[in-house]
Amino acid sequence: MKLTISKFLPAVFFGAIIACSSCSKNDGPVTNRVSISEVPAITVPTDPSGSQFIPFTNQASFAGRFSVELYFPGSKPPDKVDVVIRKTNGSTINNSNQRVFRANVTTLPASFTVTVADIVALFGVPVALNDNYDFAPDIYVGAKKYEAFPLVGTGTGSGVIAMPLFKEFTRFRVQ
């Protein structure tokens, strides 16, 4: 008795069709997801005309410059943003140590200049070596707030961080 593949091919083909057509997947209702049109991507580039580092020995000379702008020009802007500043030291990140630098910014792009006097006024203590000061926007869309540095979870920039020319925050370091 000689077996050939041609005798079994129709049966295998018919069996594959039945097996594949009887499969279905149902994970329940589709969840509501936040889209890019609901939460605008905002980038916070550092202006190279300003200081990148805060000199510990000559703090009065520091003038850090940065802007807050839409990553996709022409896209729908948020209702407003609050530019917040987070203070960390070295590699220790503590999102509970933050203040509002500028509130209710409604026009983007917006440019800012920060001095050591501004930082000291916000935190109430002098800057120290290895302090980092991170500036980023809290984004408001309708009644929803998307925090730059939430106490739990990831911030507003975490989804598009790998995009070219995108910065979720600007950092100035005391050296």
Phi, psi of 127, rounded to the nearest 5 degrees: -70, 150
Element (H, E) at 121: helix 116-123
Q: Report d(CA 54, CA 56) in Å as an integer.
A: 6
pTM over 0.75: no
Q: In this model, does residue 161 exceed pLDDT 80?
A: no
Q: In this model, does residue 174 exceed pLDDT 90?
A: yes
Q: Report d(CA 6, CA 23) in Å as an integer.
A: 27
Query: What pLDDT was estimated at residue 160?
Result: 45
Nearest one of 61, 108, 105, 64 to 84, comparing CA atoms: 105
| 104-125 tens-digit pLDDT | 999 999 999 999 999 999 999 9
Contact 85, 98 (CB under 8 A): yes
Burial code (b: 16+ CB inside 10 Å, e: under 16) for 13-42 equals eeeeeeeeeeeeeeeeeeeeeeeeeeebbb
Query: What pLDDT was estimated at residue 44?
Result: 79
Beta strand pairing status for 64-70 and 110-114? Answer: antiparallel
What CATH architecture applies to the domain 42-174? Sandwich (2.60)
Domains of the chain, residue spans? 42-174
Phi, psi of 75, rounded to the nearest 5 degrees: -75, 165
